[in-house]
Amino acid sequence: MGTVSVGGLGKILGWGVVFVPLSVLLLVRAGGLDGGTPLAVPVVLFPYAAVLSVLVLVLVLAVRALRSRPVIVVAALLAAAHVALLVPRFVPDRQHIPSGAAELRVVTLNTHVGKADAEAVVRLVRSERIDVLAVQELPSAGVTALAKAGLGKVLPYRELHPENDSSLYSRLPLTHGGPLKADTAWPQTTARVTVGGRTVRLVAVHTYYPLGDAARWGRDMTALTEVARADGSDTVFLGDFNASLDHARMRTLLTSGGLTDSHAELGHGWARTWPVGKSPIPPLVQLDHVLHGSGLAALSVTERTVPGTDHRAVVARLALR
């Protein structure tokens, strides 16, 4: 028994190069230790760590030379813990939606400092019959390009703030527009639309990024949480959050802010929106989201590639409940 135990411990030490990073990332994710810290950068890789943990367990069980009771126990515990944290976003949340409920079709797109193909954006808006378009990183030149491409013919109402980075276009009249009063790195753009006799608050989101300044990004997410908490149930936050569902600050925004992520609500647990246009690298993580209050429910959500930008657009159909 002693020889087996020593051999097993030796194998664990040998596996340390795999087990230690998986354990650290699991601890960060489970404990919410990334909030406002540089750990917010690696935690976006948590879904990949979960897949790796399962593959490691399969490998340990399949290869006799690698097998020992301590190694199997550690591998099994790591795999179970990773999967337990990841699975909920793949389970659809069945919402009751009244028959004939009014719908709001929205799309968010980071235009990559106006480099997005303006005609492709207009085609997307037409094909998806979009009611509201939120854009980030849209400078004045990008506004001009979209106007020349004919965006005004399909979305005639707009709340444009290229000086503040984000803007809103709408098929429906916009009211109460302007920069959001919140402590964010740059002002977010907000407005309201009336749908089915109800007023829906819109916030076009673009936060700072953790790789540049994790603390500043953390303050942005906290500020958005405070706004969402004060809002009613008929609200939509959509844009580039520079955050995934594995960020503690994003989960706080959802729980404390009373918001729901459309992807997770429909069980689309591993959407990836960034980066694109950097062939052969595929999109790796989801930074772009459509979040909504309890007065709405997601009917569908998908991602669309627009040439010229490094983010995929997120298109969502929302129903008013």
pLDDT digits (tens, 9 = 90+) for 232-249: 899 999 999 999 999 999
Within-domain flag for 115: yes
Q: Are residues 136 and 65 in the same domain?
A: no
Looking at the DSSP assignment, which residues form a beta bridge with residue 203?
A: 190, 237
Q: Are residues 133 and 57 in the same domain?
A: no
Q: Domains in the chain: how many in total?
A: 2
| C-alpha dist (Å) from residue 64 to 58, 59, 79, 212 | 11, 9, 19, 46
pLDDT tens by residue, 18-47: 999 999 999 999 999 999 999 999 999 999
Cβ contacts of residue 263 below 8 Å, gap of 6+? 89, 269, 271, 286, 289, 290, 301
Using the predicted structure, report yes or no on whether residue 282 has a pLDDT greater than 70: yes
Q: Are residues 7 and 136 in the same domain?
A: no
Sheet containing 288-292, strands listed edge to edge, beginning at the edge strand earlier in sequence? 175-179, 189-195, 198-206, 235-240, 288-292, 260-261
Within-domain flag for 97: no
Q: What is the pLDDT of residue 16?
A: 85
Using the predicted structure, report yes or no on whether residue 4 has a pLDDT greater than 50: no
Alpha carbon distance 36, 220 (integer Å)? 10
The mean of the pLDDT values for the chain is 94
Q: Are residues 84 and 107 in the same domain?
A: no
Within-domain flag for 44: yes
Within-domain flag for 95: no
Among candidates 153, 228, 223, 234, which has minimal Cα distance to 200? 234
Alpha carbon distance 254, 197 (integer Å)? 26
Alpha carbon distance 192, 90 (integer Å)? 31
Q: What is the pLDDT of residue 5?
A: 54
Backbone angles phi, psi at 135, to 5 degrees: -125, 145
281 pLDDT band, cuts 50/70/90, is confident
Q: What is the pTM of this model?
A: 0.94
Name the residue range of residue 10's domain: 2-90
Q: What 3-state class would DSSP assign to 101?
A: coil
| C-alpha dist (Å) from residue 313 to 6, 12, 139, 147, 232 | 53, 44, 18, 19, 26
Q: Are residues 50 and 147 in the same domain?
A: no
Using the predicted structure, report yes or no on whether residue 257 has a pLDDT greater than 80: yes
